């Protein structure tokens, strides 16, 4: 296994994925323990160099996830995040120390706005940086340090604290554009100047961490590489706080496609990009916009007559990448109601899903039901079916039956049966339309005070028989959860997505209760 500190190729760019840490901070994007393990495994198989698995001191659940990922991961360096204090750093080390290649990532906000939060003088903060980086290095040979909001930090002070961190033992210096403020020329020049002017800079790797508030995260990250950065911090689908982070798939494919002007390489197997993009979208509840670069539904679609004519004559006329380069299979009718289990298993494997035994039997049953309702079953339909299957595995609340009556004659009426912890419960409700009536029927059976923040419907494929994918986002007492489901019946998909979000909410409630009991026990002790 090659670790980051053993890479000698000057044009090799390390990919540092923070989907499980920074990406998960998107409101509603919280993943379960098993989902984090699955995503980490996919990142490792794809060739990500460093996986930032979480923020170990944030909660017991985060600590356990980081620790388990550290134990299981075969290739990637496993990194945990820690604030600039000994308690955070010690907790981080306890979580990552079992990895084959562990890393501690510690940070502190260095801009005037961020220095004001802990009310530290420049000298006091400099001392803290020295002490905490030294402490981290005494625990771990691989230490990354970040001056949060670096792009709004005074140059003299930024250079000073970077030098301090290097002398204290940091092996990677990450320069975060925490609020997406900088522009490409500034991003490149900042890295270039730090490497040229800070003593010891030649002995460390410089990294870039860009947010997308002004839509320039990918451009800023690539510019930083031009300036000398050799590590890009990014997330799958650009998931992250506010407008998101640098999208892994965008920087990786930009370096691959435009190798003529950016002669840099990564270790990413790009044929796995589409599969992990879909999986992260499913577990986070954040749909990928259709026109999203590289992994969006329309990224390789052509409707214009001129474009279609050009594509038929030579695909390179309007495509600078091949769909198969990112793991995309052509969307075509290959499955139907006469297809057998072997064909379904083979097709799902082609799409990135390995199903056998009872799971295959369950999926095959649902596939047959779908094929009976749809004239054409496309790849996207099968992906939506699989994602729905995975979401319903351990749910405490499940939709058993739904009947809705609606029209111009009056309010819509819904009759609903759910099973809650194995017990069947039924209700009837009215509402302003079929979805409102169905949601009111759910509320009558499941007690909650969550507020619906988002209700979004998108078609999986074309046609009046297309499956609808519904996403809902809900908030209760500061807890934000998302749910998704797909069905040819939009109202059914809506209720299942709503119930999926409620299941996640119940999990969050239970976790909060366990944490509170743990805190109470510790206080009593």
Distance CA 377, CA 361 (A): 18
The closest of 14, 62, 20, 58 to 41, measured between CA atoms, is: 20
Q: Which residues are annotated as a binding site?
A: 22, 209, 211, 245
Which residues touch 151 (CB under 8 Å, ≥6 apart)? Answer: 175, 176, 177, 178, 181, 182, 186, 187, 190
Half-sphere exposure of 119 (CA within 13 A, CB side): 0
Which numeric CATH code is attached to 10-284? Answer: 3.20.20.70
Quick check: do 10-284 and 394-512 share a fold?
Answer: no
Query: Which residues are registered as beta bridge partners of 107?
Result: 83, 146
Arch. (CATH architecture) of 394-512: 2-Layer Sandwich (3.30)
Domain boundaries, the chain: 10-284, 329-390, 394-512
**SS3 state of residue 446:** coil
Chain segment 327-364, per-residue pLDDT in tens: 876 544 357 777 788 888 887 887 778 888 888 888 88
Per-residue pLDDT of the chain (525 residues; tens, 9 = 90+): 456 656 678 999 999 999 999 988 877 777 888 889 999 999 999 999 999 999 999 989 899 999 999 999 999 999 999 999 999 999 999 999 999 999 999 999 999 999 999 989 999 999 999 999 999 999 999 999 999 999 999 999 999 999 999 999 999 999 999 999 999 999 999 999 999 999 999 999 999 999 999 999 999 999 999 999 999 999 999 999 899 999 999 999 999 999 999 999 999 999 999 999 988 988 887 888 888 999 887 777 644 444 444 434 555 554 678 888 888 765 443 577 777 888 888 878 877 788 888 888 888 888 888 888 776 677 777 877 787 666 555 578 989 999 999 988 789 999 999 998 888 999 999 999 999 999 999 999 998 889 998 898 988 777 777 888 898 988 888 888 888 888 889 999 999 999 988 988 887 777 766 655 444 443 443
Which residues fall in the annotated binding site for Mn(2+)?
A: 22, 209, 211, 245
Do residues 474 and 506 lie in contact, with contact meaning Cβ atoms separated by under 8 Å? Answer: no
190 contacts 182 by C-beta, under 8 angstroms: yes
Distance CA 501, CA 331 (A): 30
Q: Residue by residue, what is the 3-state secondary structure of 5-60? A: HHCCCCCECEEEECCCCCHHHCCCCCCCHHHHHHHHHHHHHHCCCEEEEECHHHCH
Q: Is the dihedral of CA 163, 166, 169, 175 positive or negative?
A: positive
């Amino acid at each position: 296994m090659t670790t980051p500190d053993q890479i000698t190729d000057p044009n090799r760019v390390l990919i540092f994925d923070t989907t499980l840490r920074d990406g998960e901070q998107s409101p509603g994007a919280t993943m379960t323990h098993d989902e984090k393990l699955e995503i980490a495994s996919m990142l490792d198989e794809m060739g990500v160099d460093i996986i930032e698995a979480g923020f170990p001191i944030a909660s017991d659940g985060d600590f356990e996830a980081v620790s388990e990922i550290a134990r299981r991961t075969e290739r990637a360096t496993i990194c945990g995040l820690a604030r600039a204090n000994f308690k955070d750093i010690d907790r981080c080390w306890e979580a990552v120390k079992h990895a084959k290649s562990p890393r501690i990532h510690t940070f502190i906000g260095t801009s005037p706005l961020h220095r004001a939060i802990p009310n530290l003088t420049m000298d006091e903060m400099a001392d803290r940086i020295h002490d905490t980086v030294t402490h981290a290095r005494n625990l771990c040979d691989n230490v990354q340090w970040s001056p949060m909001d670096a792009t709004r930090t005074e140059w003299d002070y930024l250079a000073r604290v970077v030098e301090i961190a290097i002398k204290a033992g940091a092996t990677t210096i990450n320069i975060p554009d925490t609020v997406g403020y900088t522009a490409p020329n500034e991003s490149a020049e900042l890295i270039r100047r730090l490497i040229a002017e800070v003593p010891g800079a030649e002995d460390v790797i410089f990294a870039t961490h860009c947010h997308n508030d002004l839509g320039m995260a990918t451009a800023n990250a690539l510019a930083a590489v031009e300036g000398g950065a050799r590590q890009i911090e990014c997330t799958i689908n650009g998931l992250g706080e506010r407008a998101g982070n640098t999208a892994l798939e965008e920087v990786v494919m930009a370096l691959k496609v435009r190798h003529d002007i950016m002669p840099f390489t990564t270790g990413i197997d790009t044929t796995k990009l589409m599969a992990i993009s879909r999986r992260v979208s499913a577990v986070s509840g954040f749909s990928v916009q259709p026109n999203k670069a590289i992994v969006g539904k329309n990224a390789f679609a052509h409707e214009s007559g001129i474009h279609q004519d050009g594509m038929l004559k030579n695909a390179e006329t309007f495509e600078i990448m091949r769909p198969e380069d990112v793991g995309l299979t052509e969307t075509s009718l290959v499955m139907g109601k006469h297809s057998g289990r072997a064909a379904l298993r083979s097709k799902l494997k082609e799409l990135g899903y390995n199903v056998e035994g009872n799971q295959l039997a369950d999926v095959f049953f649902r596939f047959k039901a779908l094929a009976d309702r749809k004239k054409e079953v496309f790849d996207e339909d099968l992906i939506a079916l699989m994602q729905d299957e995975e979401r319903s595995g351990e749910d405490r609340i499940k939709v058993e039956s739904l009947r809705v009556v609606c029209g111009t004659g009056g309010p819509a009426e819904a009759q609903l049966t759910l099973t809650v912890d194995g017990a069947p419960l039924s209700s009837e409700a009215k509402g302003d339309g079929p979805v409102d009536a169905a949601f009111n029927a759910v509320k009558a059976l499941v007690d909650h005070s969550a507020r619906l923040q988002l209700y979004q419907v998108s078609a999986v494929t074309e046609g009046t028989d297309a499956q609808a994918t519904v996403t809902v986002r809900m908030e209760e007492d500061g807890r934000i959860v998302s749910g998704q489901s797909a069905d040819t019946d939009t109202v059914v998909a809506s209720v299942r997505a709503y119930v999926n979000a409620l299941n996640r909410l119940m999990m969050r409630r239970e976790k909060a209760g366990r944490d509170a009991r743990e805190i109470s026990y510790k206080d009593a002790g």
